[in-house]
Every structure is written in structure tokens, then in C-alpha cells.
Chains A and B, each alone.
Chain A
Amino acid sequence: MELSAYAQGGWRLLGDPRRFPRRPYAALLRAAFRSLLDHPRAGLDDPDLKDIDPTVLKHCHAAAATCILEAGKHKADIAAISTCLEDCKLDKERIEQFCTEYQCRELVTVVSFSIGRSPLHITDVSWRLEYQIKSNQLHKTYQPSYLVTLNVENSDSGSHPDVSFSCTMEQLQDLVGKLKDAAKSLERATQM
């Protein structure tokens, strides 16, 4: 596990007790974890951090967040994280503080899991069954028809207009048949 020069610079600042006494250090670690796992803006308005220069704060926050993500990315163990932080001249106590926070937060991998591009993701489906009686062009149609809406999410922007389409009963049977084939293959694959 390696950190970029910029991140290492930030950690060196974090390791300096003159720049970052104990309380602000702990506050920054909390802020970094919270901003990744809970809410993007959380934590930086902690009163313990108000005396720190904003540029330094930004640099250190970035460094801490980078370390968290890199550790998650490589599923690094405590030894690897410690070695990395030792290279940034952090004392044992501060390294231990970081590792303890990291271990408590099992969710780091979940965050890393969700970062990245993927095709539109289906989250749910709704359907409607109707019986067509007539239209202004054609009377006495008497035909059942399904309207299916797939709720989709975009990995980038979150929401996306849903995909809707109509189909006859036979077409819906075809669709369900194919989805069941996929599910069966999936089951077989997991048993291998």
C-alpha cells in the first residue's frame, strides 16, 4: 500500500504535534471517516479544528481520506497501514489511533465497492395489466396488454428516467423465461 507524495505530505503535517495537537488530530480523523462514509460535508466544522489553517486542514483531510481509501482498496491489514504511516514520520500513538478508527469502520469496503462506472442499474420493476377495448382508430380490440416499467439508477448521477415498455402476454412470458434462464445459470455458477 502506497500513498502519493501529496498524501504523504499531508500525513507529515498530521504527525506534527505543533500543527496538530491531540484533539484536533482525533477530530480530523473522525471528520475524514465521516465524510467518506456518512456525509460529504460532515465533520470539518468540528470546533476542535477551528484553529487550524484552512489550507493545512484541506491538505490533511485529503491525505487522511486517501489513506482510508487506499487501505480499503487493497484490503490492507494493520501491519501494512502502520508501515505506510511510519514512512510519514507518524508516532506510534497516532498510528494506533488511525488503525483503531479504521477497524471500527467496516463500511470502507462498501464505499469502495460503490465507486465506479457501470451500466444503468435496475433497482425495481412495476407493472400494469390492462385490457384494451377500443381506440379512436380501431374498435373492439379486446386484448390484454402489460405495461412494464423498470426503475433504473445511474451510477454517476443517481437517478435516471425509467425504462418503460408495453408487451403482450406471450412477450412477457418470453421475458420472464429468459430472466429465469439467467437466474438458473447464476445458481449453477455459484455452486461450482
Chain B
Amino acid sequence: KLKVGTETVQQGVEGLMFLLTESAKLMISEVDFQDSIHVLGFSDELNKLLLQLYLDNRKEIRSILSELAPKLPSYHSLEWRLDVQLASRSLRQQIKPAVTLKLHLNQNEDQSAQVLQTDPSTLLHLIQQLEQALGEMKTNHCRRIVRNMK
């Protein structure tokens, strides 16, 4: 339909791909994008089309590229349950509270679930530690870094 050889089409597609991914990766501004493609000597109309293509798809391309970075399993959700152990083979007449957790994690499209257990005092300790972690982003130190890194 395009009336050109397959090799030409392939090179064209690859060229476009490169242009869009590199631009999205570097998050270049509109002006920089226009300057970059100017050297290709295309018509104004084509340049406008390319710019629009870049702006429309930038976010999606960036989100796909972010999947390629090395990473650990990420948090998906958590389910919890309270149990009281009343007896076991080695000990009768117990009252042993326990918190059972099911941690759902994602890694590269696979979901995994891990069953874990903890006791009440460790649970409170976990909450305290993780609340401290959340609080860190609000400290002056972190705020300063975030401000200066933009």
C-alpha cells in the first residue's frame, strides 16, 4: 500500500521508534525536540505531526521504559487476620494471639503471595518503624533534596 520496499518500511519504523524513545527517555522539551528534528529537513507540516506524536505518547512510553529498570518485587496489597492459638501438640491450654498476614507482591507481571505471621508486640514495632519511614519524606533534608533535584 505504501509502494516502498519492506526494508525501507522497517528502517522507517525503527527510525521513528528511536526518535520517540530517546526523546521520551530524556524528557526533552518541545523546543529541543523541534530543534532536533529540524536537521532532518522535513516539511513544517511533518515536523508538527512528529511533535504532536511525541507529546501524545510521551507519558505512555515513559511508563513502559520505567518497567525496564532493575527492580525488586513491588508491593501490591496486604490481607490480615487475627488468630488465637488455643493448643498445639506440645502444649495445651494456650492463649497465644497471632497476626497472620498475606503479602501480595508483583514482579514483572507475576503476582506472588506470601503468608507471614507475627505477634502483637512485633506488629506494633513494625507500625512504628514504617511510620517513621513515611515521616522521612517530610523532613527538611528530604524536602531540600527534592527541591534542588528538579
- Which chain A residues have a beta carbon within 8 Å of chain B's beta carbons? 69, 72-75, 109, 112-113, 115-116, 118-127, 129, 131, 133, 135-142, 144, 146-148, 150, 152, 163-167, 169, 171-176, 178-183, 185-186, 189-190
Per-residue interface assignment for chain B, residues 38 to 49, with 1 indicating a CB less than 8 Å from any chain A CB and 0 otherwise: 000000000000
* Interface bracket on B: 35 or more
| Contact assessment for B126 and A122 in the assembled complex, using a CB-CB cutoff below 8 Å | yes
| Contact assessment for B91 and A165 in the assembled complex, using a CB-CB cutoff below 8 Å | no
Least CB separation from B96: chain A residue: A113
Least CB separation from B87: chain A residue: A73
The prevalent SS among residues of B at the interface is mixed
The prevalent SS among residues of A at the interface is mixed
The distance from the CB of A170 to the nearest CB of chain B, in whole angstroms, is: 10
Least CB separation from A128: chain B residue: B133
Q: Which of B3-11, B12-20, B64-72 contacts A (4 or more CB under 8 A)?
A: B64-72
Given contacts A127-B129, A189-B82, contact A138 B92 (CB under 8 A): no
| Contact assessment for A166 and B74 in the assembled complex, using a CB-CB cutoff below 8 Å | yes
Q: B51 on the interface (CB 8 Å rule)?
A: no
A-B contact count (CB 8 A): 163
- Contact partner of A172 (CB less than 8 A), chosen from B25, B75, B89, is B75
| Contact assessment for A75 and B130 in the assembled complex, using a CB-CB cutoff below 8 Å | no
The distance from the CB of A159 to the nearest CB of chain B, in whole angstroms, is: 15
Closest 6 CB pairs of A and B: A167-B75, A112-B91, A135-B69, A115-B90, A122-B118, A127-B133
| Contact assessment for A146 and B115 in the assembled complex, using a CB-CB cutoff below 8 Å | no
| Contact assessment for B117 and A118 in the assembled complex, using a CB-CB cutoff below 8 Å | yes
Residues in A with CB closer than 8 Å to B134 are 169, 172-173, 176
| Contact assessment for B62 and A138 in the assembled complex, using a CB-CB cutoff below 8 Å | yes
- Contact partner of A113 (CB less than 8 A), chosen from B27, B94, B120, is B94
